[in-house]
Amino acid sequence: MKRFFKYTILFFVILISASLFLDVLYTAIISNSSERNKVENVIHTKNKKFDIVFMGTSRANNHFVTKVFEDKGFKAFNYGMSGSHLFETALLLKLMVANQYEIKNLVLEADLSICNEKRDEGTTARFMPYIHRNDIIKKHYENEADFYQIYYLPFYRYIKFDNKIGFRELSDVVLQKPTNALHNKGYYPLISNKKGNMKNNISSLKPIRNKYYEEIKQICKQNNIKLTVVMTPMCENTKGLDYFNKVQQLYPEIHNFENVVTNDKYFASCGHLNNEGARIYSMYVLQNFFL
């Protein structure tokens, strides 16, 4: 029995020691990367100045063509993040402000994301290597159900979010493999001739008074950032398009631009414009707010 307890204790000592070692190793390597995604790029940069910053989900990342605005003399960057929710967008904006970003205009895509206050697991993973060294990130996640496991259990977050910050990401950072996350000033064009699903059903979505949207509005007000909030196009073969009207009824300041582009030839999938469609939409936003 004594031997059993001895080996049990030894096992846990080795387990905890290994977890601590791996946690320190992964954090040291991954958190020193600065150009593989938009989250780490914001964390590692300070004092940037922009005339226009775009933020939101993939419907921002794929829809705001930065070059359209830069060709008219505006310094712009697209910080939209595919898969993200307003939860992560609010956090990224907090980090920009903390790092003394000077932003004149924020164009926020907020349509489908208005209906939930949940975090996105894939985007959340990008913040995890910094949770112990950045109080803004720590505070943002403090009310999450798994905060104590993420924050206090060594190496837990790297296991939980293995698909984004696991061994493959560690290897890619060490090997300095590039990504296209910051190409085209953050805009990710959908160029493939092969269309995705051209049907959608959003009839179950219900807009809510979203606390993270409210946070974004407050941050902009406190930091003299002019906030412009828009909805972006979806294909005509979508059930429940009245959702966009409901969003505007709840938040009248959100511009309903859902039907600015309607022809299927301008869509890569039902919820995402292709590059040509994104240029048409970007020009519409440019002409309505900046010319």
DSSP state of 96: H
What is the band of 195 on the pLDDT scale with cuts at 50, 70, 90? confident
**What's the number of CA atoms in the CB half-sphere (13 Å) around residue 77?**
16
Mean pLDDT of the residues in the chain: 94
- Per-residue pLDDT of 48-70, as tens digits, reads 999 999 999 999 999 999 999 99
Residue 216 has pLDDT above 80, yes or no: yes
| CA 227 from centre of chain | 17
Composition of the chain by helix, strand, coil, percent to 5:
50, 10, 40
Q: Say which CATH class 2-289 falls into.
A: alpha beta
The H or E element spanning position 173 is helix 167-174
Residue type, 59: R
What is the band of 199 on the pLDDT scale with cuts at 50, 70, 90? confident
List, in order, residues 6 or more apart from 25 with CB less than 8 Å away. Answer: none
Percent of the chain topping pLDDT 70: 97
List, in order, residues 6 or more apart from 190 with CB less than 8 Å away. Answer: 62, 268, 269, 272, 273, 274, 275, 278
Residue 9 has pLDDT above 80, yes or no: no
Asked whether the beta carbons of 204 and 242 are under 8 A apart, the reply is no
The domain segmentation of the chain, as residue ranges, is 2-289
- Per-residue pLDDT of 244-279, as tens digits, reads 999 999 999 999 999 999 999 999 999 999 999 999
Q: How far apart are CA 233 and CA 153, in angstroms?
A: 43
The more confidently predicted of residues 191 and 114 is 114
What would the mean pLDDT of 146-166 be, rounded to a whole number? 96
